[in-house]
Chain A
Amino acid sequence: MAAPVKLSELPVGSRAVVREFPKAGAAFLRLREMGLLAGTPFTLVRAAPLGDPLEIQVRGYHLTLRKSEAAEIVVEPAAP
C-alpha cells in the first residue's frame, strides 16, 4: 500500500483513491456532489498548460479543480 499524498503532488497520469476530504467549504461539498468522495478511484489526467488547474477523470467523466483545492485532498496512489 502506497503512502498517502496530496492530490496536488500526484504525478500526471497516475491512478489513486481519495482518502481524506476537508469537511468545510463550498468547494469541497461541490466536489463531493460531483462524485469525488472518500474511497472514489480517479486518474490524474493532466495539468493545464500553465500548470494549474488539474484535470482528473472520475466516475467516467473529466473534472477540473485548482491546485489550491487539490492540496487539501489526501489520496492514496494505486499500484501502477
Chain B
Amino acid sequence: MSDDPITSAASPRSDRPVSVGGGSLDVRTSSSDMAGATATPRLAAPARPPVYALVGNPNCGKSTLFNALTGLKQKVGNYPGVTVERKVGTAYSQHGQPIQIIDLPGAYSLAARSPDEAVTRDVLLGRRADTPQPDRIICIVDATNLERNLYLVHQVLDLGKPVVVVLNMMDLLAQAGLQIRLARLQHALGIPVIPCEAVNGKGLIELKLALSRQDLPLARHAWDVPAPIAPAIAELQASLHQNDGRPPLVARAEALLLLTDLDAVRVAGSSPLSVRTTEILQNWKKRWEGEGIDWAGALVNSRYEVIGRLCAEAVQQAGATGPSASDRIDAVVTHPVWGWLVLGVTMAALFLSIFTLAQYPMDWIDGRVTALAEWLRGAMPAGDLRALLTDGVISGAGRVVEFLPQILILYFFIGLLEDTGYMARAAFIMDRVMSRVGLNGKSFIPLLSSYACAIPGIMATRTIEDRKDRLITILVAPLMSCSARLPVYLLMIAALFPAGSVPVLTKVGLMMGMYALGTAAAFGFAWLFKRTLLKGETPVMIMELPPYRWPSLRSLALRMLERAGLFLRRAGTIILGVSIVLWFLTAYPKASAGMPPEQQIAHSFAGKVGRALEPVLRPLGFDWRIGIAIVSSFVAREVFVSATGVVFGVQTDSGGNLLPLRDALQRAVWPDGRALFTPLVCLNLMIYFVLAMQCLSTTAVVRRETNSWGWTLFQQVYLSATAWLVAFAVYQTGRALGF
C-alpha cells in the first residue's frame, strides 16, 4: 500500500452518533453518499442545538471572539485535575436560539507540548470524561498569518467534524500587504470561511448565521499520508477503534497525532491509551528508528505541503511593504540599550501603580470594614458571638477584600502586557538571565509579579509549558518580597533605628537589602531544584513574538474580574476559615474577667503555642510573644504587625502609625531584664520574614495550581526550614561577634 488518501467524506456513516450529556446527536447520511469519496455529506437536523468548540493558535484573537460571541454568558472554571481554565459560554443566533461554545485553550498544534494544548487535544478527541466531545468546531485563524494558523486547522479537519473557519484580523490584512481570495479559500476547503474583525464586532452576524446552519458541510479534506507511515496509521486506527472505542474518523485523526505527539504531556482527567495501541505505536517507532525514517518530520512536511498549495492559491502579496509598525517598535523595545530602559520603566510603572493606586481603595475598604465592625459592636450585646463576628468573620473577610485592589491592578497590568504583546518581549529580553538558573524567559513575569503579590505571580505561571519549570517557578515565587512584607519591614526598621538616629538612606539600603536577599534566594533555589529534585532538560525558548496590538479594554476588564473572582473563591474561603480558627485560638480559653488583653492572649491557646514554640525560637533570639505574632501571621504576613500590637498591649490604628508600637517594642524585655528587640533581633525578624512562607492565600493557590498537597507541603517546609536555619545562623553569628 503506497499512498493513503484521507477523505473525511469517505466514511461518515460509520461515525457513531455522538452522545452529549444524555442527549444524542444523530449523524445520519444517506447511503448513496457512501460510494462517492468526493460527495459532500450533509448532517441531518440535530435534535438539540449543537455544541461548538472554539479552537485557534495563541494570539489570534480567540478570547476576543469568544467574549464578543458570548458576552457575559460565560461559565469559567477549571478542568478537574489540571490548572487549565475551562470556559463555556452561550451565544445566541439571529433567531435567538442558544448556541453553546466551549472555548478551548490556545494551541499551535494538537501534538501537545503544554497542559493547555493537551486539554485542547483531549477534548477534541473525546478523551476527557468531564467534557463531552464537541459536535462542531469553530477554527479561528489570524488572516495575516495564514500558513502557520492553517496547520492546526489541518489537524482539526482530520477529525471529520463540521468546521467553520473564522478569518480574524481582516482589518490588519492590508497593513501587512496581503490579500486573501476568500472564494478560492472557501472553495478549496469546502467549508464556510467567515471574514471577521472580532475586536470591532465585524463579521459576527455572518458567523452566527453560519453557526446556526443545520446542514454544515464537511471539509473537502483529502491529503496523502507519506507512504512509509501509511500502514502504521491504518494499524493504529484499527486498534484505536477496537481497543479504545474511538469512532473511525476520530481514531484516524488520533493515529496521525500519536506519531507527532511525544505524549510527554499527560493530563489528569484524560483517559490513557489502551495497552495494545501503545504497543503498536512503540513497535512502529522502533522499526522506523532502525530504518532511519523521520516519521514525525514527514507528517509535518506533508501537512505544510497541502497548506502551501492552498495559500499559494488564496493569498496574494499585494506588494512589498516597508517595516511594519511592530518592527519599528521592536527596534526600540528589544534594542540592546533602549530595551532595558523600556523594561525598567514599564516595571517601575507597574510597581508604582500597585503601591500608590491600590492605597486609596485599600484605605477605603479598611475604613468600611472597621466601620462595620464598630457598628456591630454597638448593635450587639458584648459576648462571644459578637467577638466571633467582629474579630473573626469581619476581620478575616476584610483581609481578603483588602487584598483585592492590589490583585486587580496586578491582573490588569499582566493582562495589558499579554494583550499588547509586550509580555513576549520581556520574556525574550530576560531569557538569557533566566537560563542561568535553568529556567526560561517565561518565568520572568510571574517572578516579577510576585514582588507585588505571589498569588497573581503563581497564577501567571500557566504560560510556562514545561511542568517542571512551572513547578520550580511556583516553588520560589514566594521568596520575592511581596507587598505584605512591607509593614513588617517598616515596623522592624522603625524599632531598629530610633527616630533620626540614622540617615534615611540607611533605612532604604536595609530595605533594598531585604529585597535583594529574597531575590537571590529565589534564584539560588531555582538553580538548586533544577539540578536536583526537578532535573530536566534545559527548557527551549520557542516562542512567537506576536505583532503589537491595541488591547481591548472590554476583554481586559472581563479577564481581570474573572481572575479576581477565582481568587476570591479559592483563597477567600480558606483565609476566612483560618481567620476564624485563629480568632478562636486567641480568644479561648478565657482568662478571668477584667484582665488586660495581653493577659488574655498569654492565657489562650495561641499563647500556649507561643510558649511551646519558645525552645525552637529562642536560638533565633525570639521569645514566646514574638512566637505568638509569628504563629498568627501564618494567615498573612502583615498580621504580624497587628498581632504584635495585641501581644505587647498597644492598640494599633489603621492609619499605619507605628510609633506607639515601636516604643512598646523598645520597652519589651526578657524576664531577666535584657532588651528583647535588640538590633540583631530586629534584623533577624526581617530576614525570617524574607524567607518564611507565611501566607495562607498563597498556600491555597499553590495547592490549586500544582494540584498536589505534596508540593504544597514541600514548599511550606523548605521555606520555613530555610528561614529558621538562616535566622539561627545570623543570630548565633551575631551573638558570637558581640552584637
The interface of chain A, by Cβ under 8 A from chain B, is 21, 23, 26-27, 29-35, 37-38, 45-46, 48-53, 55, 59-66, 68-69
12 other A-B residue contacts (CB within 8 Å) besides A37-B300, A49-B336: A29-B300, A30-B108, A32-B296, A33-B111, A34-B108, A37-B301, A53-B441, A53-B541, A60-B145, A60-B178, A61-B544, A63-B542
Q: Mark B507-541, 1 if CB is under 8 A from A, else 0.
A: 00000000000000000000000000000001011
Decide yes or no whether B203 CB sits under 8 A from chain A: no
The reply to whether A33 and B428 form a contact with Cβ atoms under 8 Å apart is no
The reply to whether A31 and B545 form a contact with Cβ atoms under 8 Å apart is no
Closest CB of chain B to A5's CB: distance in Å?
A: 21
Pick the contact of B113: A21, A26, A32, A51 (CB < 8 A): A26
Decide yes or no whether B451 CB sits under 8 A from chain A: no
The reply to whether B435 and A52 form a contact with Cβ atoms under 8 Å apart is yes
Chain A residues near B176 (CB-CB < 8 A)? 60
The reply to whether B545 and A55 form a contact with Cβ atoms under 8 Å apart is yes
Most buried by A among B339, B431, B432: B432
The reply to whether B429 and A48 form a contact with Cβ atoms under 8 Å apart is yes
Chain B residues near A48 (CB-CB < 8 A)? 334, 428-429, 431-432
Chain B residues near A27 (CB-CB < 8 A)? 540, 542
The reply to whether B148 and A59 form a contact with Cβ atoms under 8 Å apart is yes
User: Which residues 326-351 of B have a CB within 8 angstroms of A?
Assistant: 326, 330, 334-337, 339-340
User: Which residues 389-443 of B have a CB within 8 angstroms of A?
Assistant: 428-429, 431-433, 435, 441
The reply to whether B304 and A29 form a contact with Cβ atoms under 8 Å apart is no
Closest CB of chain B to A25's CB: distance in Å?
A: 9
Closest 4 CB pairs of A and B: A50-B432, A62-B545, A27-B540, A23-B294
The reply to whether B113 and A30 form a contact with Cβ atoms under 8 Å apart is yes
Decide yes or no whether B264 CB sits under 8 A from chain A: yes
Chain B residues near A23 (CB-CB < 8 A)? 294, 296-297
Most buried by B among A21, A45, A51: A45
The reply to whether A66 and B540 form a contact with Cβ atoms under 8 Å apart is yes
For residue A66, which residue of chain B has the nearest CB? B541
For residue A40, which residue of chain B has the nearest CB? B304
Alpha-carbon gap, A59 to B543, bound state (A): 14
Alpha-carbon gap, A50 to B441, bound state (A): 12
Decide yes or no whether B449 CB sits under 8 A from chain A: no
Pick the contact of B340: A37, A46, A49, A52 (CB < 8 A): A49
The reply to whether B432 and A32 form a contact with Cβ atoms under 8 Å apart is no
Pick the contact of A60: B144, B300, B339, B543 (CB < 8 A): B144
The reply to whether B334 and A55 form a contact with Cβ atoms under 8 Å apart is yes
The reply to whether A35 and B148 form a contact with Cβ atoms under 8 Å apart is yes
- 25 examples of A-B residue contacts, CB within 8 angstroms: A23-B294, A23-B297, A26-B262, A29-B262, A30-B109, A32-B297, A33-B300, A34-B148, A49-B337, A49-B339, A50-B429, A52-B431, A52-B435, A53-B431, A59-B147, A59-B148, A60-B144, A60-B145, A61-B145, A62-B326, A62-B545, A63-B543, A63-B544, A64-B428, A64-B541
Chain B residues touching A, range: 35 or more
Decide yes or no whether B40 CB sits under 8 A from chain A: no
Alpha-carbon gap, A21 to B544, bound state (A): 20
Assuming the A-B contacts A30-B542, A31-B542, A64-B542, are A51 and B432 also in contact, with contact meaning beta carbons closer than 8 angstroms in the complex? Answer: yes
For residue A31, which residue of chain B has the nearest CB? B542
Alpha-carbon gap, A65 to B440, bound state (A): 11
Q: Mark B276-318, 1 if CB is under 8 A from A, else 0.
A: 0000000000000000001011001100100000000000000
User: Which residues 94-141 of B have a CB within 8 angstroms of A?
Assistant: 108-109, 111, 113
User: Which residues 226-270 of B have a CB within 8 angstroms of A?
Assistant: 260, 262, 264
Alpha-carbon gap, A13 to B329, bound state (A): 16
Chain B residues near A35 (CB-CB < 8 A)? 147-148, 151, 304
Chain A residues near B330 (CB-CB < 8 A)? 45-46
For residue A23, which residue of chain B has the nearest CB? B294
Alpha-carbon gap, A63 to B264, bound state (A): 23
Chain A residues near B429 (CB-CB < 8 A)? 48-50
Chain B residues near A38 (CB-CB < 8 A)? 301
Closest CB of chain B to A75's CB: distance in Å?
A: 16
Closest CB of chain B to A73's CB: distance in Å?
A: 12
The reply to whether A65 and B542 form a contact with Cβ atoms under 8 Å apart is yes
The reply to whether B542 and A34 form a contact with Cβ atoms under 8 Å apart is yes
Closest CB of chain B to A28's CB: distance in Å?
A: 8
Pick the contact of B544: A29, A50, A53, A62 (CB < 8 A): A62
Alpha-carbon gap, A8 to B334, bound state (A): 19
Closest CB of chain B to A20's CB: distance in Å?
A: 11
For residue A39, which residue of chain B has the nearest CB? B301
Closest CB of chain B to A11's CB: distance in Å?
A: 16
Closest CB of chain B to A17's CB: distance in Å?
A: 14
The reply to whether B109 and A60 form a contact with Cβ atoms under 8 Å apart is no
Alpha-carbon gap, A71 to B113, bound state (A): 22
For residue B317, which residue of chain A has the nearest CB? A60
Chain B residues near A64 (CB-CB < 8 A)? 428, 431, 541-545
Alpha-carbon gap, A47 to B260, bound state (A): 30
Closest CB of chain A to B229's CB: distance in Å?
A: 14
Most buried by A among B108, B296, B301, B542: B542
The reply to whether A26 and B339 form a contact with Cβ atoms under 8 Å apart is no
The reply to whether A53 and B300 form a contact with Cβ atoms under 8 Å apart is no
Closest CB of chain A to B337's CB: distance in Å?
A: 8
Alpha-carbon gap, A61 to B109, bound state (A): 16
Alpha-carbon gap, A50 to B538, bound state (A): 18
